[in-house]
């Protein structure tokens, strides 16, 4: 999950990861998770899954500091998280809540093709800022662009078990609603994607 800001041409992404201590692949990962935890980039959760309460509580805490305009989510655990978000007044955008803050984002090539030029431009012009976030650099370096026979582009993990890219995919999905965030504001868009194993 993370916080997404826009100021002038710059796009700022401040991420946070929750990691399950019981993940079967955790010991195989060649990344200093303990250092990321010490730096506040990640939290180890001693359970088999990341509960909706943990995710939503993080957003509730962030909402005390930031004005949350949108919460963009892909389909992974959407129904579980939606119910918990609703307890705190974060409703899905639908006919009953046209100004709802929860936005469901499609997975896969449709979304990836939409944001590819935006992400490509942001990297090429040095307009995407992670700050001193070693974990986001790792997530980004674990991501490859796959091009199919029709020229469609998708972002994929370089290697499934040990080269995680959850933080980068969270950024991909939130950037699919980039045009809904006004520029030059102090407002923020949030996106959730929990690392579950």
pLDDT band at residue 146, thresholds of 50, 70 and 90? very high
Exposed/middle/buried for 69, CB within 10 Å: 0-12, 13-18, 19+? Answer: middle
> What is the C-alpha to C-alpha distance for residues 94 and 29, in angstroms, rounded to an integer?
40
C-alpha atoms less than 13 angstroms from C-alpha of 134 in its C-beta half-sphere: 12
pLDDT band at residue 196, thresholds of 50, 70 and 90? very low
Return the sign of the alpha-carbon dihedral for residues 45, 50, 51, 57: positive
Model pLDDT for residues 114-145, shown as the tens digit of each residue: 999 999 999 999 999 999 999 999 999 999 99
| CATH number of the domain enclosing 32 | 3.30.420
Higher pLDDT, residue 26 or 139: 139
Model pLDDT for residues 158-177, shown as the tens digit of each residue: 987 788 999 999 999 899 99
Residue 6 has pLDDT above 60, yes or no: yes
Instruction: Let me know if residue 152 belongs to a domain.
Output: yes
Strands 68-73 and 188-192: parallel
Contacts of 135 (CB under 8 A, 6+ apart): 15, 17, 31, 36, 41, 42, 167
First to last CA, the chain: 15
Calculate what percentage of the chain has a pLDDT beyond 70. 93
- How many structural domains is the chain composed of? 1
Q: Residue 59 belongs to what domain range?
A: 2-192
Instruction: Let me know if residue 197 belongs to a domain.
Output: no
Residue 197 has pLDDT above 70, yes or no: no
Structure tokens at 68: 């949350």
Model pLDDT for residues 66-112, shown as the tens digit of each residue: 888 899 998 888 988 999 999 999 999 999 999 999 999 988 889 99
Instruction: Let me know if residue 173 belongs to a domain.
Output: yes
Instruction: Let me know if residue 106 belongs to a domain.
Output: yes
Coil, helix or strand at residue 169: helix
The confidence score (pLDDT) of residue 160 equals 79
């Amino acid at each position: 999950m993370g916080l997404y800001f826009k100021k002038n041409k710059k796009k700022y992404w401040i991420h946070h990861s929750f990691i399950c201590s019981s993940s079967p692949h955790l010991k195989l990962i060649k990344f200093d998770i303990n250092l990321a935890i010490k730096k506040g980039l990640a939290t180890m959760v001693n359970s088999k899954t990341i509960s909706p309460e943990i995710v939503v509580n993080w957003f509730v805490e962030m909402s005390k500091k930031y004005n949350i305009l949108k919460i963009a989510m892909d389909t992974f655990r959407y129904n579980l998280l939606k119910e918990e978000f609703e307890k705190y007044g974060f409703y899905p955008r639908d006919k009953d809540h046209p100004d709802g803050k929860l936005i469901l984002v499609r997975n896969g090539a449709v979304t990836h093709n939409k944001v590819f030029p935006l992400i490509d431009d942001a990297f090429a012009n040095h307009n995407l800022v992670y700050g001193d976030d070693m974990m986001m650099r790792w997530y980004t370096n674990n991501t490859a662009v796959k091009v199919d026979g029709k020229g469609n582009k998708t972002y994929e993990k370089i290697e499934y078990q040990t080269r995680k890219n959850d933080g980068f995919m969270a950024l991909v999905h939130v950037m699919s609603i980039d045009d809904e965030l006004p520029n030059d504001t102090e407002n923020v868009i949030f996106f959730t994607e929990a690392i579950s194993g």
